[in-house]
Amino acid sequence: MEKISMNDIRKKNYSDVYRLIYQERRISKSRIASSLEMSLPTVTQHLSTLETEQLIEKQGQIASGIGRKAAAYIIRPEVRVSVGVEILPDHITAVVLNLYGMVIGEKKAQLPFSEKDEYFASLRDLVYELLQDSHISDDAVLGAGIGIQGLVSEDGQRILYGKILDCTGLTIHPLSQRLSFPVRLIHDAECAAELELWRNPELADVIYLSLGVHLGGAVIMHGQIQRGRTGRTGTVEHMTLVKGGRPCYCGKPGCMESYCSVDALLEEGEHLSDFFSQLRQGASRHVRRWTEYLDYIAMALNNLHMVLDCMIILGGHIAPYLTRQDIDVLFSKLQDRTAFPEEENFIRIGTQENNTVAAGAAIPFIRTFLETI
């Protein structure tokens, strides 16, 4: 058995005190001591250290026994931050998140994707402008996650398959050499699933389907995103939905991508907001297109649910437009198709907020900080 040193105990106590303050948001010294079964002198020592390191601070008072009040401790949520970036073919979005995963800054730019130095220099400039506008210093940044449409190596350093952006083989080096903090690439659907897990930590087993401009997916088992042997777990977009069907960007016919993505729903030049505006007003042509789209989604969800009998969350660009009625209609279509009776609706609408990919790309650095402090 490995021997535990006094230093190990001190480190654990220090971490436990910080994490409890983080979890409780506001808490007194005596409450920390009782919750962690730690002596007051030990708690005082760690609070002093955390204050010196500017990780926590006192903020007002909090009830502590009958008629008594004590100093309330909180973490300083912006003393460490994480940057998230979403790279798309024609533009980029960058956000900065505090330690609670709240967006405290955002910046967008029209920037056609390229592997040239000028592109990465512009991306660097955007990130530093975002930090400057958010009054964040470089040394406060835990790292930057880059959400991208492509399969990524396990270490986040290389694109293994990047057909949409034609970037297979691209490494993180052109960007990491321009930034003063750690940088890693992350598959965009995995980013969206990361944010979903962060916002809903009780999730256990889930299929996450990102209904974006392009389709993407992620599988969550026991609260962890599964990548599989080669990082392809969750790439449902290339499952065959219709034999010999519409062409997919991958070069094969009939993929889910060609029937269940936003691109498959919209006509050329059409925007989601305009489509749903017409749909909710009952425009017959839009109703017909939506009905057909839901038919294909129901077919896809039924296939996925046969493989993994768990909740399915619909996220991505379409999520903010979905209603409870849409989900009920979709589930009814699935019930008509499935071989087994389904009484409980297992389809949920995902996190409805802007920039889910960019925000999700920032989450892993925050999670690592909290796990290792």
Q: Residue 206's pLDDT is what?
A: 96
Q: What are phi and psi of 128, to 5 degrees?
A: -70, -35
| Mean pLDDT for the stretch of residues 269-276 | 95
Q: What is the pLDDT of residues 22-70, one digit of tens each?
A: 999 999 999 999 999 999 999 999 999 999 999 999 999 987 666 678 9
Would the CA dihedral through 33, 38, 43, 44 be positive or negative? positive
- Residue 243 scores a pLDDT above 80: yes
Distance between first and last Cα of the chain: 24
- 141-148 and 183-187 as β-strands: parallel, antiparallel, unpaired? parallel
Is-contact 248 254, C-beta < 8 A? Answer: yes
DSSP string, 327-367: HHHHHHHHHHH-SS---S--EEE----S-HHHHHHHHHHHH
Higher local confidence (pLDDT), 7 or 291:
291
pLDDT at 271 over 70: yes
Q: What is residue 144's predicted lDDT score, i.e. its pLDDT? A: 98
Mean pLDDT of the chain: 94
Query: How many other β-carbons are positioned within 10 Å of the β-carbon of residue 288?
Result: 10
From the CB of residue 265, how many other CB atoms can be counted at a distance below 10 Å? 21
pLDDT tens digits, 307-352: 999 999 999 889 999 999 999 999 999 999 999 888 899 999 998 7
Q: Catalogue the E-assigned strands of 222-351.
A: 224-226, 311-315, 347-349
Task: Tell me the whole-structure pTM to 2 decimals.
Answer: 0.92
Per-residue pLDDT, averaged over 203-207, amounts to 95
Among residues 84, 198, 196, 57, the alpha carbon closest in space to that of 141 is found at 84
d(CA 26, CA 365): 23
Given a cut of 70, whether residue 1 has pLDDT beyond it is: no
pLDDT tens per residue, range 143-189? 999 999 999 999 999 999 999 999 999 999 999 999 999 999 999 99
* Residue 6 pLDDT grade (very low, low, confident, very high; cuts 50, 70, 90): confident
Q: What pLDDT shows up at residue 8?
A: 86
List of domains in the chain: 6-75 (1.10.10.10), 81-193+356-372 (3.30.420.40), 203-349 (3.30.420.40)
Q: What whole-number percentage of the chain has pLDDT above 90?
A: 90
pLDDT at 211 over 90: yes
Instruction: State CA 76 to chain mean position distance.
Output: 22
Average pLDDT over residues 2-27: 92
pLDDT given for residue 113 in this prediction: 96
Contact (Cβ atoms closer than 8 angstroms) between residue 32 and residue 17: yes
Residue 270 and residue 285 in contact, taking contact as beta carbons nearer than 8 Å: no
Is-contact 94 106, C-beta < 8 A?
Answer: yes
Q: Which pLDDT score is estimated for 134? A: 96
CA distances (Å), 68 to each of 30, 62, 65, 156, 268, in order? 12, 9, 5, 51, 66
For 66-100, the pLDDT digits (tens) are 667 899 999 999 999 999 999 999 999 999 999 99
Token pair 């409450």: residue: 31
